[in-house]
Amino acid sequence: MDGTAPDKTPLVTFHRFVPGARLPQRADRAAAGSLPTRAFRYCEAVVSAAAFGYYIFPPTTFSLLWDGTEISWSWDGEATWHKLKAAQFPGFADQFDAVAPPDIKGFSPPFLGALQESGLVQLWSGVVARTAPGWSLLVRAPANLPRNPGYELFEGIVETDRWFGPLFAALRLTRTDRPVEFRADWPLFQVQPLPREVYAEPTLNRYEIVPELSMLNEQDWADYHHTVVRPNVQEVRPRGQYAAATRKRQKGDTTPS
């Protein structure tokens, strides 16, 4: 221990704009209870990915209906379908203007928008996020959760340390003539904090390729033996060795496994 106090400055701060919208929450190692028990207990790679980031939910339950050309939408408690171009969250524009400074009134973010490409929609979570300096948010489909067959989510990286605006996602509808429902109690997407240097060009260009098996060096073969061979020749092979070793490392235990 070096005696330095841990930094308690928030890495991410979520601001809820739409009243009553479900608040973001830490992503779940069990992928909202959807992972098989064996994967949850023994596959550290899967549970670590599932828990990396935060779940973002729709501000209400709503549905989209695409006929192959035009998109309509409706929301929980509304009996009518409305043609989608750009739509405000029901009642939010007035709530926004009642609080916003005079020069910002009238600029409430749209909730939904049909993009010019066929079947593409942009939607707002009702949340604005701010990250610590030098950090961004990767917006992606929830890790390891079952996909809704009615749409595909695009991934994007937003530099939220300088972009204090709506936390949007874009999606492509993949079926026609049947409503696609988005539930307010189920994660719409997942955001994962990334230091900007991780995806900078100089960082990503630092790679090399070993094109032939014969070019592995002595250390490569030793590491392969430790990872693959040793567990398979043990008389008693403990289950979840990788998971146990990873959890020990996360707790600061450097004792060899």
Residues 6+ apart with CB under 8 A from 22: 57, 59, 184, 185
Rg (CA), the chain: 23
What is the per-residue pLDDT for 43?
85
Asked if residue 137 belongs to a domain, the reply is yes
Residues 165, 91 share a domain: yes
Asked if residue 68 belongs to a domain, the reply is yes
Asked if residue 202 belongs to a domain, the reply is no
Dump pLDDT digits (tens) for 137-163.
999 999 999 999 999 999 999 999 999
| Mean pLDDT for the chain overall | 91
Residues 232, 128 share a domain: no
Residues 98, 220 share a domain: no
The stretch 195-215 carries a mean pLDDT of: 97
- Whole-model pTM: value is 0.86
Give the orientation angle of helix 44-51 with respect to helix 241-250, to 10 degrees. 50
Dump pLDDT digits (tens) for 37-59.
888 887 888 999 999 999 999 99
Compute, in degrees rounded to 10, the torsion defined by CA atoms 39, 42, 44, 48: 40
Provide the residue range defining the domain that includes 221. 208-250
User: Is residue 113 classed as helix, strand or coil in its secondary structure?
Assistant: strand
Asked if residue 2 belongs to a domain, the reply is no
In degrees, rounded to 5, the angle at the alpha carbon of residue 57 between the alpha carbons of residues 11 and 141 is: 80
Residues 110, 21 share a domain: yes
Residues 222, 120 share a domain: no
> In degrees rounded to 5, what are phi and psi of residue 6?
-65, 145
**How many domains are contained in the chain?**
2
Is the pLDDT at 217 greater than 70, yes or no?
Answer: yes
Dump pLDDT digits (tens) for 239-252.
655 555 555 566 66
Residues 152, 229 share a domain: no
Residues 224, 174 share a domain: no
What is the per-residue pLDDT for 249?
60
CA atoms in the 13 A half-sphere facing the CB of 90: 13
Say which CATH number the domain at 68 has. Answer: 2.70.40.10
Dump pLDDT digits (tens) for 75-124.
999 999 999 999 999 999 999 999 999 999 999 999 999 999 999 999 99
The structure tokens listed for 22 are 């479900």
Pairing mode, strands 62-66 and 71-75 = antiparallel
The structure tokens listed for 30 are 């069990």
Residues 212, 190 share a domain: no
